[in-house]
Amino acid sequence: MEKTAQLEIEGRPYSLPIVEGTEDEKAIDVQRLRADTGYITLDPSYGNTGACVSTITYIDGDKGILRYRGYDIAELCERSTFMEVCFLLIYGELPTDEEFSRFKERVLAHSLIHEDMKSFFQSYPGHAHPMAILSAMVCSLSVYHPQLLKAEQTGEEREETISRLLSKVRVLAAFAYKRSVGEAFVYSRPELDYLANFLHMMFTTPMRTYEPDSVVRKALDVLFIIHADHEQNCSTSTVRMVGSSKANLFAAISAGICALWGPWHGGANQSVIEMLEEIHMAGGNYKKFIEKAKDKNDPFRLMGFGHRVYKNYDPRAEIIKKYCDQVLDHLGINDPTLEIAKGLEEAALTDQYFIERKLYPNVDFYSGIIYRALQIPTNMFTVMFALGRLPGWIAHWKEMIEEPGMRIARPRQVYMGATRRDYVPLAQRGSN
């Protein structure tokens, strides 16, 4: 028998269907509520709103579980690669040998951008934030591929759009970096794998060819796997929202990049390092910053702490912390911010304020320290996050666009403004 929830609206009973997920998540389906009763549900910031049914990523924030298509994040980090995870997220299954070769070939075939696009980069001031450049450039890709902008694409056209975007975004990110440090752009070497090619475009100069070592490559692979998806977060919901108007994929992803930029979302990785540096410069007294974070009259928040969904240790932070130690050890780097981060974490986890509110380190708390060890400048951290998140955004866009009966996303509101009033001409309004 279908399970239902009973609602009484001003004395009138109303029955709502219950939807149960494969991991026992339960939802009350309110899709017909307004049409049947005239009422809507009110949920600013969507803390209790399921915007879709999805088969991509499962999170249990209380237990600290994160799985992509059923596979545990820790196992994927240990045994898989970012490219394989891209395929898994976008197409739903781990690839066969043949599928994987074809996928890699398609992606690697598009690792150049139109020559004209280089002049765009040169028009930005040197201090331009690379996230601004990246979002503008991803949207600009649409100009060069008008054949891929159709709202109704064939399967082949969709594959073409996805592989071009996956590949070219690395070039755009690397060129944004080169522009910010005033170095010449370095062309892709299509014979290199996805991440090695990206690192080559970032760090090769006329003076030296960059060859990343295996520990660095593995750490970056893991960081990208960890960033790859996180179900209906702010940027992914933005991609779905924009994509629901049937805007093209480039436009939807560009919007997602802008959403990710904010310091309460992906921009937190930059803010964490800036905060740790500030604590270091102030003599390393992190306890003072804990007090600031607890003070309700102070807008300061402990960056890299807290999460809307995780009310337990973020499993991604646990994995990153391990790689953080490994990379720094391997490269022989003694970064004082790592010690400050560990001290801060320990102090926060034993502090009543953080315990009561279930505030734990999130994915961004340690990632910046690894990026810094890899010589990636602070303002590029969120760009790295965006590169990692790209397959997740694409997977959600694809899932949504392929859903039968898909409708444009269009929330409602409760209007609390002035009721109808008559216009008063300027001359009759008097003064304050």
- CA gyration radius, the chain: 24
Residue 280 among the catalytic residues: no
Distances (CA, A) of 231 to 67, 148, 165, 366: 10, 26, 20, 21
Cβ proximity to ligand ACO: between 135 and 362 the closer is 362
CB atoms within 10 A of CB 361: 26
CB atoms within 10 A of CB 98: 8
392 part of the interface to ligand ACO, by CB under 6 A: no
Residue 229, C-beta contacts closer than 8 angstroms, at least 6 positions apart: 56, 57, 68, 89, 236, 389, 391, 392, 395, 396
Query: From the candidates 110, 129, 364, 396, which is the catalytic residue?
Result: 364
Binding mask 154-193 for ligand ACO (x = CB under 6 A): ----------------------------------------
264 part of the interface to ligand ACO, by CB under 6 A: yes
- Near ligand ACO by CB under 6 A, which window of 100-108, 181-189, 328-336, 356-364? 356-364
301 part of the interface to ligand ACO, by CB under 6 A: yes
Site for ligand ACO in 394-423 (CB under 6 A): none
Tokens, residue 316: 């991604």
Residue 199 and residue 212 in contact, taking contact as beta carbons nearer than 8 Å? yes
- Near ligand ACO by CB under 6 A, which window of 68-76, 118-126, 170-178, 295-303? 295-303
382 part of the interface to ligand ACO, by CB under 6 A: no
Near ligand ACO by CB under 6 A: residue from 199, 302, 376, 401: 302
311 part of the interface to ligand ACO, by CB under 6 A: no
* CB 337 to ligand ACO: min, Å: 16
Query: From the candidates 200, 307, 314, 396, which is the catalytic residue?
Result: 307
Q: In what order do the strands lie in the sheet with 57-60?
A: 57-60, 65-68, 71-72
Near ligand ACO by CB under 6 A: residue from 102, 106, 189, 265: 265
* CB 363 to ligand ACO: min, Å: 5
Tokens, residue 378: 């602070």
Q: By CB under 6 A, how many residues form the interface with ligand ACO? A: 18
Tokens, residue 71: 């596979």
> Alpha-carbon distance 329 to 324, whole Å?
8
Near ligand ACO by CB under 6 A: residue from 134, 359, 370, 376: 359
Cβ proximity to ligand ACO: between 246 and 308 the closer is 308
Residue 307 among the catalytic residues: yes
226 part of the interface to ligand ACO, by CB under 6 A: no
Strand partners, 305: 361
Near ligand ACO by CB under 6 A: residue from 194, 305, 323, 397: 305
Distances (CA, A) of 237 to 178, 248, 311, 392, 424: 30, 15, 21, 11, 41
Distances (CA, A) of 269 to 31, 131, 137, 303, 368: 37, 13, 22, 8, 5
- Near ligand ACO by CB under 6 A, which window of 142-150, 241-249, 329-337, 360-368? 360-368
Residue 212, C-beta contacts closer than 8 angstroms, at least 6 positions apart: 195, 196, 199, 220
Judged by the rule CB under 6 A, the positions of this chain that interact with ligand ACO are 264-266, 268, 293, 301-308, 357, 359, 362-364
Residues designated as active site? 307, 364
